[in-house]
Structure formats: C-alpha cells, structure tokens
Amino acid sequence: MASGLGPRLLITGGSGKLGRELVRMWPDSLHPTHQKLDVNNLPSVLSLIRKSEPKVIIHCAALTNVRQCELDRENAWQTNVVGTANLVKGIEEYAQNSMFIHISTACVFHGEKGDYVETDIPYPKNFYSYTKAEAESVVRFSSLKNWLIIRTNFVARVRWPYKKAFTDRYGTYLFTDDVAGAIELLMSKGLCGIVHVCGEEKISMFELAKIMTPDIKPMTLADYTGPPLTMDMSLRSNRIGAFKLTR
C-alpha cells in the first residue's frame, strides 16, 4: 500500500522521533514542517488536504512531554485533541477514501496491571494520557471510512536524554525504526481499527536505556516528583504478533 504513494502520503510531525524515521522510510512523502502545517490551524489543514488529496495520512504530531502537558494544558489539548480533530475534518471533507493512521500511546491505560490488549478500556493517569485518549475518541467516533489507531511505546535509537532511568517502570518498548517498520507492515495488510504495536519483551526503562547508554544511572518512582506516571505500560495484541526490539 505504501509503495509508490510519494506525495500522496502525508506525515504530520515529521521532525519528531518517529516522524523522522517515517520520512527516512518514505522520503518522497509530503511531510511539511510545523511552520508550514500547524495542525491547530484548521484553514491551513483544510487547504493542505484539499490540494494534496492524500491517500494515506500518518498523524504523529503531538505534544508528548508529560510535565509540559500538565503545566500547559491548553496547548496540550489544542495540539493533541483539536489538532487531530482538524485533520479528521479535512479528511471528511476532501479525502473521504483515504486511510488515517493515528499514532497513540500505551499511556492511555492506567498502568497498574500491564499487558493491555486492544479491547481493554483506557483509563488515563495524567493530562497527557487524557488528551491522547480523547484524540482516539475523535478518530473512533468520526465518519472516517478507513482509520487505524496504533498504540505503542517507543524511544529514539540515541543516547538516553536523562542522567537516570526508572528501574520500576515497565513496557514492551520498541525503537522508532522498529515502529516505522511495523507501520509499513500494517499498511501492507490493510488493517483498520485499533492495533497494539509492541515488543516481545517486557523490560524496565532502565534496561531499555542501557542498550544505547551503558553508563545510565538507575532511579525509582520513589525518587520522582511530578505528575503521576504509568508504572506498567506493557501491551499485548490480539490482532498481530509482537515485534522484536532490535539491539
């Protein structure tokens, strides 16, 4: 499905961690900068979709910093929820037959039990998670004909951006290039609905960080002060096999 799309593939958030991998995979795609496409600007979104008539839209643009979302809730809501709604409106009006792929997060779940599957009920623990769950609802209850919500949990394949990493927060993590490959596979299969893209292993953030940053220092949630965090973000899928976390 993805081959030969060229500019008929629109990627939002192309400068983000996952967006950069998707642009690397599909360099001929349409991937406007934030300056050229602010998803909060409805006229700009409508104009771009009307002119480009994309066949596939991969929506990665989001505000993901938990602390920032808590401190600036208006901006988080506008970016994560209203921005998604603007794209949905543009597709409904000008690209009804296109596929809309919305990148969501394992953090829509509370994180007390882990191993969440597609049919589990979201229960957000902080404002970031709340906005992502609401954005999912925008997609699910729209009139879009073809949509795919991908819940996943990923980091870039770079040095860990902090001095420490949690030993008691867990997930079925993947690197961004792993997730990009999974998205290509899902597109080729033509899957719709909600799909969990997850790694085969449940590991701690500390174990994940050590892959790219061997000298990372450990910490626990007891050392943390800030908005509430999900403890176990692990996912399972009833729809597709787990993916290998490539080391």
Q: What is the pLDDT of residue 17?
A: 97
- For residue 193, the surrounding DSSP H or E stretch is strand 193-196
- Note the pLDDT tens digit of each residue in 191-206: 999 999 999 999 999 9
Q: What is the pLDDT of residue 2?
A: 56
Report whether pLDDT(21) > 70: yes
Q: How confident is the model at residue 168 (pLDDT cuts 50, 70, 90)?
A: very high
The tokens for 52 are 């480009």
Evaluate whether residue 242 is within a structural domain.
no
Whole-angstrom distance, CA of residue 59 vs CA of residue 179: 14
Evaluate whether residue 231 is within a structural domain.
no
Mean of pLDDT values over 61-76 = 98
Q: What is the pLDDT of residue 95?
A: 97
The tokens for 43 are 């006229």
The range of the structural domain enclosing residue 118 comes to: 6-223
Please choose, from the candidates 229, 212, 217, the residue with its C-alpha nearest in 3D space to the C-alpha of residue 17. Answer: 212
Please choose, from the candidates 7, 8, 10, the residue with its C-alpha nearest in 3D space to the C-alpha of residue 44. Answer: 10
| Alpha-carbon dihedral 57, 60, 61, 63, rounded to 10 degrees | 150
Report whether pLDDT(1) > 90: no
Whole-angstrom distance, CA of residue 106 vs CA of residue 233: 6
Place of tokens 């176990």: 232
Q: What is the pLDDT of residue 74?
A: 98
Specify whether the backbone of 100 is left (phi greater than 0), alpha (psi in -120 to 50) or beta: beta
Mean of pLDDT values over 182-199 = 97
Evaluate whether residue 244 is within a structural domain.
no
Report whether pLDDT(6) > 90: no
Mean of pLDDT values over 41-65 = 97
Mean of pLDDT values over 239-247 = 96
Evaluate whether residue 245 is within a structural domain.
no
Q: How confident is the model at residue 5 (pLDDT cuts 50, 70, 90)?
A: confident
- For residue 157, the domain's CATH number is 3.40.50.720
Report whether pLDDT(229) > 60: yes
Evaluate whether residue 110 is within a structural domain.
yes
Whole-angstrom distance, CA of residue 41 vs CA of residue 87: 10
Whole-angstrom distance, CA of residue 74 vs CA of residue 69: 8
DSSP code string of 54-116: -SEEEE------HHHHHH-HHHHHIIIIIHHHHHHHHHHHH-TTSEEEEEEEGGGS--SS--B
Q: Which residues pair with 193 in a beta bridge?
A: 148
Torsional sign, CA 63, 116, 155, 190 = negative
Evaluate whether residue 234 is within a structural domain.
no
Contact 117, 236 (CB under 8 A): yes
The tokens for 51 are 């002119």
Report whether pLDDT(4) > 90: no
Report the chain's C-alpha Rg in angstroms.
Answer: 17
Looking at residue 121, its amino acid is I
Mean pLDDT of the residues in the chain: 96
Q: What is the pLDDT of residue 30?
A: 97
- Note the pLDDT tens digit of each residue in 110-141: 999 999 999 999 999 999 999 999 999 999 99
Q: What is the pLDDT of residue 7?
A: 85
- Count of structural domains, the chain: 1
Q: What is the pLDDT of residue 3?
A: 56
Evaluate whether residue 237 is within a structural domain.
no
Evaluate whether residue 247 is within a structural domain.
no
**Non-local CB neighbours of 72 within 8 Å, separated by 6+ positions:** none
